[in-house]
Amino acid sequence: MLRHSILALLLARHIHAVQLLTPYPFRSPYDDTIDEDDKDFNNGDPLAIDGSNFPCKLYQDDNTNPNATDIKATYEAGQSYSITLLGNSTFGGGSCQISLSYDNGQTFKVISSIEGGCPLNSTYDFTIPNFVPDYSQVLLSWSWFPFLGPRVMYQNCARVQIGSGSTKRSTRHTRKQRRSYYSKRQATALEDLPDMFVCDVGEFGNGCTTIEQRNLIFPDPGDNVVIGQNNETADPGPGYRFPDNSTSSTTSGATTQTTESSGTSEITATSSTGVITTAGVNYHYIKHF
């Protein structure tokens, strides 16, 4: 009885933040197969701004989550589906991405970008690209950068299976396909899909921070982009910046100066690409100023 009152209180306090409802993300408070004690009633909280639980709150790791490999949805390549979201702390909207990871969270490949107005709708459609391989241990990620409020990244991840679960098709593409990709700029293989935008999670986003009340335009949104409206008129995007004081936002043609606290200015190049390695995982990045 007492335990249930405490749970009800926890629910009342935390359940309203928008979070992925279906497919059930890891440790979802709405997933009836999970014991009360194993549910994360804070699953609607953002990722830590220091990146310490990036990606997926680290729930994708089967060393720490005994159910990390349990499949919550099965999709077919080339078919369309939707995610559902629940909660009414929407922070006026923002921009979201739906991504797939075939390497348990080392890289996330974008299949849908919603720029503005997300998550004001509770359902978002996506199509599993027809060229992705069958695999039983894919992560489906919903990530969100809110329009208003603290500069944070939200991410919930669900374990999904694509097709039969066993890879039969090659993820590699032919030289001809690659040429065609570069001329048409259209993805023809998993590796051609853009990387998920990562920001507001410390070094994983290169110290990138989003800018409140600006329209967040993803640097590489991919082939499937939905434009939505935030609940207020947004200042022009792209709406993110790096700590070297250069900015990715302009107002009336003027560069907006950023004020950064000391200790965040170690990146001073005007552009760079590279790899951050943390806990044995390589995070590839391309940075534009």
Site map (CB under 6 A) of ligand NAG, residues 108-147, x = contact: ------x--x---x--------------------------
Q: What is the largest CA-CA distance in the chain?
A: 65
> Which of 114/190 has CB closer to ligand NAG?
114
Angle at 31 between CA 30 and CA 37, to 5 degrees: 90
Residue list 146-205, contact with ligand NAG (CB under 6 A)? 148
Cβ-Cβ contacts under 8 Å for 270 (sequence gap 6 or more): 246, 289
Encoding tokens for residue 217? Answer: 């335009």
> Which of 114/139 has CB closer to ligand NAG?
114
The residue from 45, 260, 272, 285 that contacts ligand NAG (CB under 6 A) is: 260
CB of 94 to ligand NAG, least distance (A): 10
Residue 92 as a binder of ligand NAG (CB under 6 A): the answer is: yes
Backbone angles phi, psi at 100, to 5 degrees: -120, 145
Please state, in angstroms and rounded to a whole number, the distance separating the CA atoms of residues 20 and 28: 8
Q: Are strands 254-255 and 109-115 parallel, antiparallel or unpaired?
A: unpaired
Beta strands in 47-199 (DSSP E): 73-75, 80-86, 94-101, 109-115, 123-127, 135-146, 154-162
CB of 154 to ligand NAG, least distance (A): 14
Among candidates 142, 146, 155, which has minimal Cα distance to 93? 146
> Which of 153/189 has CB closer to ligand NAG?
153
Span from 5-13, 49-57, 161-169, 226-234 in contact with ligand NAG (CB under 6 A): 226-234
* Interface contacts to ligand NAG, rule CB under 6 A: 16, 27, 33-35, 38, 65-67, 88, 90-92, 114, 117, 121, 148, 226, 228, 231-232, 245, 257, 260, 265
